[in-house]
Structures are given as structure tokens and as C-alpha cells.
Amino acid sequence: MSTWPVVSLSQLSDGYISPVARSKAPLFCSVISIYITIPIIGLFFTGVPGSMVVTWTTFNKTESKVEYGLLGGRLFDMSAKGDAALFVDSGEEMRKMYIHRVTLTDLKPTATYVYHCGSEEGWSDMFSFTALNDSTSFSPRFAVYGDMGNENPQSLARLQKETQLGMYDVILHVGDFAYDMHEDNARVGDEFMRQIQSIAAYVPYMTCPGNHESTYNFSNYRNRFSMPGQTESLWYSWNLGSAHIISLSTEVYFYLEFGQELLFKQYEWLKKDLEEANKPENRAVRPWIITMGHRPMYCSDDDQDDCTKFDSYVRLGLNDTKPPAPGLEDLFYHYGVDVELWAHEHTYERLWPVYGDKVYNGSKEQPYVNPKAPVHIITGSAGCREKTDRFNPNPKEWSAFRSTDYGYTRMQVVNATHLYLEQVSDDQYGKVIDSIWVVKEKHGFSAWF
């Protein structure tokens, strides 16, 4: 029996989204996909009214407009305009599309809004979203997964329903979309965006890039998603509740042909971001630092991927670049990263607190209470055409629990000391097959000792 959500049952009803009437107007323009991404401005600080970006795609050039209003109030009494950027796919057909982005500002935290998007030439269906609670005492609930494709997206139906039931505040998609967005002259990307609209039009859909986005230098990914910062969604950070969340590209370690400098740039940015997040005044209000990146530092799959080797690039860096490229394990350990979310392996694996290939449990009885190293979760089994992976029969001692069922992870950052994680098996009809509480009375580097 799932204990989800773990606290504040009232939040479920607060977050519940009433069905809204469907527009009777014919859809003139080809609105193929709408998703709300993060509050770009203001969410980094408490007390600043939230904002959301609404994004959608059309094949003809039209205005970019969102009409919206508070649920229960007058429909569409507010409107906002944005821009449409031309995206030309690099496939043979050089298909053109316009990616619209409209930022809604001055949203009331926790208020639910009904909206549609488009222009006088045609409107989308109506959707609704709840502006994110901007309090540091907020306990946000996340669905976390990677590796979900256009074909065989086994967990999608469950995620659609649970999102529409109001069970999540944010989705974290940890890389590998569509398989692959560029295929069939990017029509697979269009179709995938249509598929996730039933999730992403209702809650912020936060992403990081994976290897399946690499074709044409990640252009489908960089154009279709709209994450904060100025890196075309490659790396960025943001805050929610008592968490500072960092999204990064592990792919900079593998696609050096797109620029080795990206690797160093990201590393420098990560260092700066972690330094800032660790300033006492910042860590006091956002004690949890959570990272998400596609390829894990550790795993016990049998597919000979990076993490199956002791010297994972992501973990230890590269020696054949000039200068040698640093890995991320030491950096994350040094700055006291609490939880590291990964995907890429089409399995679920929970690790004991680990650093330098060694286990550092809080204690024998309570490994995740005051752990002495970061906690890693690998959750790449949402479902795709490549099916699930197999495990190495002899995992290392840091492997705590593993499953080859299709599924996804739920995470709730409950408060400054408690964080809850559970794994849902789609194969077992939504059964929770694993769960842990990570409890930390102290955060940061000093928490390890």
C-alpha cells in the first residue's frame, strides 16, 4: 500500500485540478504541444511572485498568446504575449516549426489558473496549472524518471492519471526522450510532445539532456525545452521548498565533438552554483541539494555502459583531454550534495550512501539517517523501445536494492531534515516496491564526519 503522499494529505485536495470545459472553437492552427516549464524568474528567491513559461509549437507563424484566469473566476481575464522562435530540424526535409514561449508573471503562489494558448488564428484546448508554492516550508512532491520513449512508454498512462489527480507538483525527466526526437524528420519529437502534453500542460516539466538527444548537437532538445538560465536547457539550477535542485548534462563527457569547452564550462558553473548554494545563509533555508543528470556514476547493469566500469567518466573525469577533465564525484562530495538522481540504465537501483566506490552508511541499523556520503538513485525504467536492461549478477557492496520492472520514482522533500523516496512498479500495477527516508540533521561537507 503506497504511503504517498507522505505528508499533508490536504495538499492533495489543494492541488486537485478540476476538470475544465473543453473549448468548442475549432483548432485552426496546429498546436502540437504545450508544456509549462519552470518559473524562470523569481523562483530562486523566496517571496517573489512566481512565474511560468508556457511553450507550444505551431507549423505556421502565428502570434504567441496565453489567455488565463483564476480557476472559478472569469475565464481568460488576463493575457500575456511572448515570442515564437523558428526551429529548423536538420533532417533531410529541413522541417520548420515555431516554438512559442510566453512567460506568465505575478502568479499567486498555490492558486490554480485555467489557460489556453495560441492566437486569434486558433486556440488550444483549455488546461490548468497551480502556481508553485514559494514558501521554503513547502513540501514539494516530484515524479522522477528517465528514458521514456514514444514507443513502449509503459509508465506514461499511470503518470498521466496521477499528475491529473494532483499527486505531483513537478516532474523531473532525467534525460532520454522519445527515442529519438530527431527521427522521421523530427516527427517523433512532435509525437512525443503530444504524448507528454497530458502531463506537461498541468505541472512544470523539468528536464536534462541524455544521449538520445545528441543528434544534430542536441538541437531538438535545446529548441523544444525551455529551462532556466542561458544554456538552452543544458544545465541550470532552481529552488523549490527546502531544496536547491541542479540539472546537468552528463553528455558533455561523451560528445566532445560538440565542444570540449562545454565540459569545462559546466564544471565551472557547477562549482560556482554549489559554492553559492553552500553559503551559510543559503544552505540554512535550502538545506537539501539534489542533482539530476542522465548517466550515473555507479550502476550494476550488465551492458558495459560508463557506470559499469570503475572509472566512470562522469564520476572521475577524462584523462585524454587537455587539460584533463575533472569528474563530478569529488565536487559533489566536497559541497555536500545530498541526493543524486540518475537514469540511462533501464532499471531502478538504489545505492547505499557511497563515495569513492565505498559505502558510508549513517549506521548499520539506519543507513540513511545522517548518511556519510551522497545517496544515489538510478531511475531509467519509465519505458522505451529498448525495453529494460539486465543486471550484473554480482553487484558491488554499494548496491542496496534493484529492480528491472518498468516504473518511476516519487520523491518528496518533506522538510529541512526529511526526504522521502519510493519506487513505483508499473509492471505490478502501481505497487510501491521500495522506499526510504533520508534523514539529515546536518547538511553540507561537515555532515560527512
Binding site for Fe ion (CB under 5 A): 176, 210-211, 344
Is there a contact between 282 and 303 (Cβ–Cβ < 8 Å)?
Answer: no
62/211 with CB nearer Fe ion = 211
Pairing of strands 339-342, 407-413: unpaired
CB of 212 to Fe ion, least distance (A): 6
- Of the pair 148, 274, the CB lying nearest Fe ion is at 148
Of residues 11 and 300, the one with the C-beta less far from Fe ion: 300
Which residue, 176 or 349, is less far from Fe ion as judged by CB? Answer: 176
Nearest to Fe ion of 244, 344 (CB atom):
344
For every residue of 129-181, DSSP letters joined together read EEPPP--TT---EEEEE--EESS--TTHHHHHHHHHTT--SEEEE-S-EETTT
Minimal CB distance to Fe ion: which residue? 344
Give 89 or 389: the residue with its C-beta nearer to Fe ion.
Answer: 389
Residue type, 99: I
For helices 215-224 and 183-200, the axis angle rounded to 10 degrees is 30
SS3 state of residue 191? helix
Q: Which is nearer to Fe ion, 222 or 344 (CB)?
A: 344
CA–CA gap between residue 409 and residue 367 (Å, rounded): 20
One-letter amino acid for residue 371 of the chain: P
17 within 8 A of 130, measured Cβ to Cβ: yes
Strand partners, 401: 350
In the complex, what is the shortest distance from the CB of residue 64 to Fe ion, in angstroms, rounded to a whole number?
A: 32
The three cell numbers of residue 83 are: 515570442
382 in helix, strand or coil?
coil
User: Taking the C-alpha atoms of 402, 139, 447 and 309 in order, what is their torsion angle to the nearest 10 degrees?
Assistant: 30
> Minimum Å distance from CB 204 to Fe ion?
22
Least Å from the CB of residue 343 to Fe ion: 7
User: Residue 148 in contact with residue 176, Cβ under 8 Å?
Assistant: yes
**Cα–Cα distance between 304 and 300 in angstroms, integer?**
10
283 or 344: whose CB is closer to Fe ion?
A: 344
- In the complex, least distance from residue 388 CB atom to Fe ion, rounded to whole angstroms: 13
Q: How far is the CB of 294 from Fe ion (least distance, A)?
A: 6
- Residue 349 CB, shortest distance to Fe ion, in Å, is 14
CA angle centred on 286, ends 70 and 295, rounded to 5°? 95
Nearer to Fe ion, 104 or 299 (CB): 299
CB of 356 to Fe ion, least distance (A): 25
Closest separation between CB of residue 303 and Fe ion, Å? 11
Distance between CA atoms of residues 343 and 442, nearest Å: 27
Judged by beta carbon, residue 176 or residue 422, the one nearer Fe ion is 176
User: Quick one: cell of 223?
Assistant: 529548441
Burial of 280 (0-12, 13-18, 19+ CB in 10 A): exposed
Residues 6+ apart with CB under 8 A from 412: 4, 5, 6, 7, 139, 140, 141, 142, 419, 420
Element housing 446 (H / E): none
The distance of closest approach from Cβ of residue 221 to Fe ion in the complex, given in angstroms and rounded to an integer, is: 12
Query: Helix (H, G, I), strand (E, B), or coil: what is residue 13?
Result: helix
DSSP β-ladder status, 407-413 and 354-355: unpaired
Specify the residue, 102 or 148, whose C-beta has the smaller distance to Fe ion. 148
Closer CB to Fe ion, 389 or 434, in the complex: 389
Q: How far is the CB of 213 from Fe ion (least distance, A)?
A: 9
Closest approach, Cβ 214 to Fe ion, in A, equals: 10
